[in-house]
Chains A and B, each alone.
Chain A
Amino acid sequence: MDTSFLILVLLTLPVVWAAGLLLPIPGLQRKRYAWAYSAVTSAISLTLAVIVAMNFDWSRPGDMQLSGSIDWIPSMGLSFRYGVDAISLWLILLTAVIMPVVVLSSLIEVNHDMRQFHFWLHILEAALIGTFVAQDIVLFYVCFEFTLIPLYFLIGVFGHKEKLKAARVYFLYAFTGSMLTFAGVLYVGYVGWQQTGMWTFAIADLYDIGRRMSMTEQCLVFAAMLAGFGVKTPLVPFHTWLPLAHTEAPTAGSVDLAGLVLKLGPYGLIRLAIPMLPDAALAFAPWVCVVAVIGIVYAALICRAQKDAKRLVAYSSVSHMGFVALGLFVFDPDGIAATGAVFYMLAHGLATGGLFLCIGMLYDRFHTREFGRVGGTAKFMPVWSFFFMLFVLASVGLPGLNGFPGEFLTLIGAFDSGLWWSKPMAVAGALGVILAAVYLLYMAGRMVWGTPIIPPDHAGYLEGAEHGVDPNHRHDLSWREVTTLVPVAGLCLLLGLLPMPVLRTLEAPVQGLNKPVMGLVEAEEQAAGLAGGDAGTAADAGVVMQDDRSQATGLNGVGVAGPGERSQAIPLRVVVADGVGGEGVDGDE
């Protein structure tokens, strides 16, 4: 049975939900009704996402599945091509999980324009899912870009003090970057037109076209893509929009931004830029990694200087996303670092999302989140403090929680990479892990431990008083808030304790997307081996390390059965022309 229609349903459902909010039903203007409507509908979307995941053949996670195509503007070569592989599907699941959570969390904070708020949340979900399922580059770009509009409104209408500035700065930064991406994307299409006389924007076709471009062209297009995706990621020095946007956004906006929208940048890099422009990716790799490492350390130092908890978490996102960028560009032989980086995207979404949720709950109560004005919460808000510490430790990268496997694999991969510059990067990156512990635990110390400092209650909180979990502590979490946090915390724990199922499914697609670059690295190493005498020992060392690791993590040992096998073979130069996107076609046969 062809189940590809499920993707379309998944994509259109949030739009339908959003449209439902526009209906002239007076009840929807009331706060709780709109909230309940949104909670139920986003839960239905989550259910559907799970159904999609069940229809996905997990035995071949690297293939494009549930794919299809609908004509959009055929005369321009545009069509609505969609499909998912494991990377897309995990990100879709993350999106679908985060959405009901942010809806649940928003009850106290958002107290006006309820319809508009939930409308934009649903639209954002649709745009995110659209970006992840798009197999046409213009469709990808359209959805990628369209995420700006809901966030623009979420920040601008529902944000805090500097919301206007934050909304505009965010929009302008992202729009400027992605306009360059747009030019780059069109240029690849144009090269395809030059070669074949046909305009095509199918990602699978553009892989082949991009790889055939000259080095100069590849570098220019790569730079253009980096402009858009780097701003979104964000890479230093294009990160300055992030603290502003995250801090001024309402909790829901911050969680969506940090948890989901930031992922669009690395996703674009691994889905488009790296497989399409392998030569340029390899040439840019050291520079991207340097920038990423600078970001890791620099943002960590800024974090240490923050007094506002939300700003601190916002800057910590810059630091943590540096790991993702580092992992994507060290190109170790088995794609360990890149797999770790993609895993870390999911982990960071949950952990940072959880932190923003906690801080939002604190802000609901006291309208402050500054160190020194609120503190010692362990005494008067024990349940909140428990969750907060859990997310802090997850962010720090404590083994057993979700932050650890991603960071660890990223650094392992960086050490393991055959590229000469990757080891210093790994060392510097590891420094970032320590710094993360420093600033996050410093924050936890100021907020959670010590003598209680209880600021006066905020009026809005008293109005919306809810049943607390803990009758002894008036300020502690309500049942609703616990329900909000439990799924996120549970997933943090689950991904920390059992990362293998996810890692195993991410490995094949990541290796598939990295194949062209790996081919180049391989060729380079062979050339170096022919030239220099030390190559033999280096290769031996590599083999030993590889064996060690497969025992240690089981990553290589388990492997993937069936069609996935071919992605395990380290590709040679010959298979470079073999499009990754073509696998989807093969897989369907």
Chain B
Amino acid sequence: MAMNEMMVKLQTLWPEMTLLIGAVACLATGLSGVWWVRKSTAVVAGVAIGVAQLFATGVIGPGLEVASEGDGHPLGLDAAVVYLKVAALAVGLVLLLVAARTPEHLKQVVTAESKAAFEPGDDFRGEFFAFFLFSLTGVLLTAGATDLVWLFLALELTSLPTYILVATGRDKAWAQESAVKYFFLGAMAAAVFLFGFALIYAASGFTTYAGIHAYVVDRAGADGGLPPLMLVGMVLAVVGVGFKIAAVPMHFYTADVYEGAAVPVTAMLAFVPKAAGFAALIGLLSLVGWRYGPDGDRLPLVLEVLIAVMAVATMTVGNVLGLMQSRVKRVLAYSSVAHSGYMLVGLLAGSSVGGGGLGNGVSAIAFYLVAYGLGTIASFAVLGCLHGPEGDEAATYDDLSGLRHRHPFLAGTLLVACLSLLGFPFTVGFIGKINLSAAGFVSGHGLVVIALVLNSAISAAYYLRIGSVCFFGKDYGTTEARYVPVRITGAIIASVMSIGLGLQGGWLESRALEAGVVAERETGSDEEAAQKAAPSAGFGGGVDGGEAVDGESRGVVSAGTLGDP
């Protein structure tokens, strides 16, 4: 029995396992003495992501929905989990294109383009891609987490490699400075949410989602309120995970770290930890659920206020500070803060209302994560293609000035990316903003939606400034393009998809809407479920919790369609 469950569980982890195998393979090929094998490390990483994607979409292997043949996600988030995994892998592949030549370029700088003989100790190509894949694995594991311990480990697996990538991705002292700053603040944030997890455990007696959820349902049924310990734990967990998505008050590192890292690494920082953070937040908030308030469709008041305040503060701080920057990388860093604020609006609505339709917060986040990922990756990729006279990165608005004259394609790509991030019609960002605003209205937070649209207007000022200097500015000739074919390919794919999904977003939208569907698992008796869950507490056996309701589990049929061509 246990063995069988283990097998079912493992089947859902095929993508993660593939990525780990790929990471190990990257370490091996990166250290190979043969030139072309070393050279192919990026390809190995790409193949690993591709194969993982095939597993995730169910083209090969059993597909991720096998879990629902057992018990599925204890909170019914099966569809969201599948979506997040597939989306993270898809965007991850574009990110890999952008990042592929980073170590090579770095090596060129280090060895001053000399034809030095290969020295294993001198080469870090393998590590770069291995860490990249580890981090991506972390996102997938975070999405699929059903236990707080698992969640913590998965979040740290996402973050730890990024600290190293920041430090080693660029041959500059301030890269190390950024990495140290990022690491210490990250460790502090980890302490905060770990403390939150501990309090949740203290309050409920479980670390499994199933157990905590059963406890919460039980308490909600009893007197309609959660004990303060539980709420404090949730608040700390949300605030701590806020570090991953760079939400206020955990946003302080963003600009410095993003600026210090190499551009492709920055692109990764802007997407990968954020995807993990939102996956974690969706899971955590689903624990207490959207079933409080007068209409039974709200979060507990404390959390609702917390998230509404965080959302408004994050988008405002991000946009206002973005407006004040003169270095484009910092502008984009703060813009990524602002986008986290927008996405937090989706958490207000959550999954309980508007299930399967516009206005569902989880689908809004799911959609916007892709929209934001494409826009931000394209813009960073363009920055990564430019460098100043001494080989340093294009940094200021002046460096971009008149880009249209020399590199019309780069300028056009950057403009499309900025318009998509701005949420301009005919880009995917616009449809994303419709989703988020609808979710905001549905959750009854009209004022937060007003804050969202006004913030979009503020953000127009700096996105437009980027577009303006590229297209209307005088050509100072301070930057040159470093045409890295794969990176440009990544940028073009991202920007073309930004427009394509904006014109015909129905495909992604219906998948995102499916992701918002919560598979209903009516617990026949809460106590029973809690008892069932009890033995497995702390052993990662979260799937046990819903066993009592096996018959009622609807699963998510639609999730399987993700892989269909």
Q: Which A positions have Cβ atoms within 8 angstroms of B?
A: 71-77, 138, 141-143, 145-146, 149, 152-153, 156-157, 163-164, 167-168, 171-172, 175-176, 179-180, 182-183, 186-187, 189-190, 193, 199
B510–A75 contact, CB under 8 A? yes
Contact of A168 among B442, B452, B465 (CB under 8 A): B465
B472–A183 contact, CB under 8 A? no
B506–A182 contact, CB under 8 A? no
- Contacting residues, chain B, for A146 (C-beta < 8 A): 424-426
- Contacting residues, chain A, for B510 (C-beta < 8 A): 75
Type the 1/0 row for B218-256, where 1 means its CB is closer than 8 Å to any CB of A: 000000000000000000000000000000000000000
B424–A149 contact, CB under 8 A? yes
Contact of B471 among A71, A156, A189 (CB under 8 A): A156
A179–B457 contact, CB under 8 A? yes
B438–A176 contact, CB under 8 A? no
- Contacting residues, chain A, for B461 (C-beta < 8 A): 168, 172
Contact of B506 among A75, A138, A164 (CB under 8 A): A75
A72–B434 contact, CB under 8 A? no
Q: How far is the CA of A157 from the CA of B453 in the complex (A)?
A: 28
B505 at interface (Cβ–Cβ under 8 A)? yes
- Contacting residues, chain A, for B454 (C-beta < 8 A): 176, 179-180
Chain A, interface SS category: helix
B449–A183 contact, CB under 8 A? yes
Q: Which B positions have Cβ atoms within 8 angstroms of A?
A: 354, 357-359, 419, 424-426, 430-431, 433-435, 437-438, 441-442, 446, 449-450, 452-454, 456-457, 460-461, 464-465, 468, 471-473, 504-506, 509-510, 513
B472–A75 contact, CB under 8 A? no
A179–B453 contact, CB under 8 A? yes
Beyond A73-B504, A163-B472, A199-B359, 12 additional contacts (C-beta under 8 Å) are A72-B504, A75-B506, A142-B426, A146-B425, A146-B426, A164-B472, A164-B473, A179-B454, A179-B457, A186-B437, A190-B359, A193-B358
Chain B, interface SS category: helix
A180–B425 contact, CB under 8 A? no
Closest 5 CB pairs of A and B: A142-B425, A176-B457, A190-B441, A179-B453, A73-B506
A75–B453 contact, CB under 8 A? no
B456–A75 contact, CB under 8 A? no
- Contacting residues, chain A, for B426 (C-beta < 8 A): 142, 146
**Smallest beta-carbon distance B293→chain A, Å:** 16
- Contacting residues, chain B, for A73 (C-beta < 8 A): 431, 504-506, 509
B358–A199 contact, CB under 8 A? yes
- Contacting residues, chain B, for A72 (C-beta < 8 A): 504, 506
B359–A75 contact, CB under 8 A? no
- Contacting residues, chain A, for B504 (C-beta < 8 A): 72-73
Contact of A171 among B359, B430, B452, B464 (CB under 8 A): B464
Q: List 24 A-B contacts (CB under 8 A).
A: A73-B509, A76-B431, A76-B509, A77-B358, A141-B425, A143-B425, A145-B424, A146-B424, A152-B464, A167-B468, A168-B464, A171-B460, A172-B464, A175-B456, A180-B453, A180-B454, A182-B433, A182-B437, A183-B453, A186-B441, A187-B446, A199-B357, A199-B359, A199-B438
- Contacting residues, chain A, for B424 (C-beta < 8 A): 145-146, 149
B468–A164 contact, CB under 8 A? yes
B438–A186 contact, CB under 8 A? yes
A176–B472 contact, CB under 8 A? no
B456–A189 contact, CB under 8 A? no
Chain A, Cβ-Cβ closest to B422: A175
Number of A-B contacts (CB under 8 A): 100
- Contacting residues, chain B, for A74 (C-beta < 8 A): 506
B430–A142 contact, CB under 8 A? yes
**Smallest beta-carbon distance A14→chain B, Å:** 15
B460–A183 contact, CB under 8 A? no
**Smallest beta-carbon distance A230→chain B, Å:** 15
- Contacting residues, chain A, for B513 (C-beta < 8 A): 75
**Smallest beta-carbon distance B495→chain A, Å:** 15
**Smallest beta-carbon distance A546→chain B, Å:** 43
**Smallest beta-carbon distance B409→chain A, Å:** 12
**Smallest beta-carbon distance A77→chain B, Å:** 7
- Contacting residues, chain B, for A183 (C-beta < 8 A): 437, 449-450, 452-453
- Contacting residues, chain B, for A175 (C-beta < 8 A): 456-457, 460
**Smallest beta-carbon distance A177→chain B, Å:** 8
- Contacting residues, chain A, for B434 (C-beta < 8 A): 76, 138, 186
**Smallest beta-carbon distance B53→chain A, Å:** 23
Q: How far is the CA of A171 from the CA of B461 in the complex (A)?
A: 9
A168–B468 contact, CB under 8 A? yes
**Smallest beta-carbon distance B341→chain A, Å:** 15
A145–B425 contact, CB under 8 A? yes
A157–B471 contact, CB under 8 A? yes
Chain B, Cβ-Cβ closest to A183: B453
**Smallest beta-carbon distance B525→chain A, Å:** 31
A142-B430, A164-B468, A172-B464 known; A190 vs B425 contact (CB < 8 Å): no
Interface centre among A152, A175, A179 (most CB of B within 10 A): A179
Chain B, Cβ-Cβ closest to A155: B472
A153-B471, A183-B437 known; A76 vs B425 contact (CB < 8 Å): no
- Contacting residues, chain B, for A138 (C-beta < 8 A): 434
Q: How far is the CA of A368 from the CA of B286 in the complex (A)?
A: 67
Q: How far is the CA of A180 from the CA of B426 in the complex (A)?
A: 18
A142-B430, A179-B454 known; A193 vs B464 contact (CB < 8 Å): no
- Contacting residues, chain B, for A142 (C-beta < 8 A): 425-426, 430
B358–A167 contact, CB under 8 A? no
Q: How far is the CA of A83 from the CA of B509 in the complex (A)?
A: 26
**Smallest beta-carbon distance A112→chain B, Å:** 11
Q: How far is the CA of A75 from the CA of B505 in the complex (A)?
A: 10
Q: How far is the CA of A73 from the CA of B468 in the complex (A)?
A: 32
**Smallest beta-carbon distance B422→chain A, Å:** 8
**Smallest beta-carbon distance A105→chain B, Å:** 22
**Smallest beta-carbon distance A456→chain B, Å:** 27
Q: How far is the CA of A75 from the CA of B357 in the complex (A)?
A: 7
Q: How far is the CA of A429 from the CA of B510 in the complex (A)?
A: 52
Q: How far is the CA of A163 from the CA of B473 in the complex (A)?
A: 11
**Smallest beta-carbon distance B398→chain A, Å:** 14
- Contacting residues, chain A, for B358 (C-beta < 8 A): 75-77, 193, 199
A75–B509 contact, CB under 8 A? yes
Q: How far is the CA of A145 from the CA of B425 in the complex (A)?
A: 7
